[in-house]
Structure 1
Amino acid sequence: MATGTKVDLTKRLDGYRARVGEFRLIDLPPNRYLAIDGHGDPNTAPAYAEALEALYPVAYALKFASKRELDQDYVVPPLEGLWWADEMDAFTTARDKSRWDWTMLILIPEWIEDALVEAVIADVRTKKAPVRLDDLRILPLSEGLCLQTLHIGSFDDEAPLLARMHDEVIPEQGLRLAGLHHEVYLSDARRVAPEKRRTILRQPVTPA
């Protein structure tokens, strides 16, 4: 890998490509993420805010460590999330966010070894010590075959598109759900109006 230039993984990796109105099958390689778990409505649950308060300082400290120690700079990848509930209608019909479980993620670039990640977490602990830092972990994720599309708009407006993906598009392609619902937040929700937010909706699948 060439050094001295800043890598933007959203422009390099196929998993960050999606179009409105297109349901595209992709085969994702194994990846590693900074990850932290929680439960409940992300708009109101203290655990969600605390999760991000742990994720972001480590993600940015890891970027600076990569530049300093490996001579490889990069754009911190976007926030991602795995979402699930005991009943899928909590997402597609009822939208009962109090029933949601989640794992928030930020991708670790492939050239960064686990030892550097652990060293960065230890360093952040000495400086910031976010409340949930000890819950942060490295998560290997092998999603393999996935169907994904792009949603533009409020998170609360995702339900019809998810219902179409789950109930129509996936069965019509001879597939079935095979993993956790995955979202990639290409827009920073702190800075982008709800109606303009760009979110990749991804569903791991397997032949039916």
Structure 2
Amino acid sequence: MAFDFKKEYKEFYMPKNKPEIVTVPKANYIAVRGKGNPNEEGGAYQQAISILYAVAYTLKMSYKTDYKIDGFFEYVVPPLEGFWWQDNVDGVDYSNKDTFNWVSVIRLPEFITKHDFDWAVETATKKKKLDCSSAEFLTIDEGLCVQIMHLGPFDDEPATVEIMNAYLEQNGYANDMNDKRLHHEIYLSDARKVAPEKWKTVIRHPIKKK
């Protein structure tokens, strides 16, 4: 059986539909940064997703090539994730998607090194005929966070965030979002195949004790 991050780390990928406090360990990611509306057809966000998956699957299938990764074992490519913010906005203004800044990421297994990553970017660029040079090897240490499973369309997230905020207030915590600690989403549903009311999205916010 291929290693599946969602199953092995359920506490980070499969939270309940009520808020919970977690300490998220440091991990490495494939990342692409950008700006603009994620729904724009053929826009920067959709291009970024193509690059992420091109690099991710090049690494996943590397064992079938001449390139050997030390310590490699077969694994399921983890779900797409995103860190989001808007300049001069506290939280997220879902009504103004054109002003989004984002870092889209896919988690990497621990055995993938920067050298392996660089090989995958170069290989994916050649084989997929897709410029993957905007992909970066990014280490993120989220630390103390609150998270919840949001069920439904992305535009309904504010109500779920309000539940998270109320939980923090009741339990002596406060949001700790800044230019380094950001609104974080993990996408567990394929939006092309699943009805919006059934979309599952982990929402995670950085927090601190009051």
Asked whether the 8 Å contact 2:15–2:147 carries over to 1, the reply is yes
1:62-101 matches, within 5 Å, as 62-65=59-62, 69=68, 70-85=71-86, 86-88=88-90, 90-91=92-93, 95-101=95-101
Q: Deviations over 1:124-170 (max 9, x none)?
A: 12122424x2111011000011110001111111111113323x222
How far, CA to CA, are the matches of 1:143 and 1:57 in structure 2?
25
- State the match for 2:163 in structure 1: 164
Q: Report the equivalent of 1:151.
A: 150
Alignment coverage as a number of residue pairs: 199
The 3-state SS of whatever aligns with 2:130 is: coil
Secondary structure, aligned partner of 2:38: coil
Task: Tell me the TM-score normalised to structure 2 length.
Answer: 0.88
Q: Percent identity?
A: 36
- In terms of fraction of residues, the more helix-rich structure is 1
2:6 match: 10
How far does the alpha carbon of each residue in 1:90-133 deviate from its partner, in whole angstroms, 9 at most, with x for none? Answer: 43xx63111211110100011222211111111112122424x2
TM normalised by structure 1 equals 0.89
Opposite residue 72 of structure 1, the aligned amino acid is F
Does residue 48 of the first structure (1) align with residue 38 of the second (2)?
A: no
C-alpha contact 2:51 2:135 (8 A) present in aligned 1: yes
For the residue of structure 2 that corresponds to 1:104, the secondary structure is: strand
Comparing 62-71 and 107-116, the one that deviates more: 62-71
C-alpha separation between the residues in 2 aligned to 1:49 and 1:127?
A: 19
* Alpha-carbon distance between aligned partners in 2 of 1:140 and 1:11, rounded to the nearest angstrom: 22
Indicate the residue corresponding to 2:26 in structure 1.
30
Aligned to 1:126: 126
How far residue 23 of structure 1 moved from its aligned partner, in angstroms, is 0.6
Counterparts in 2 of 1:108-127, with a 5 A limit?
108-127=108-127
CA deviation after TM superposition for structure 1 residue 207, in Å: 1.3
SS in 2 for 1:73: coil
> For the residues of structure 2 that align with 1:18 and 1:139, how far apart are their CA atoms?
24
Runs of 4 or more, structure 1, over 6 Å off, are: none
Which runs of 5 or more structure 2 residues have no equivalent in the other structure? none
Paired AA for residue 202 in structure 1: R
Deviation string for 1:11-54 (max 9, x for gaps)? 1113112111x211111110111001111110016111110111
Distance of 1:71 and 1:136 partners within structure 2:
21
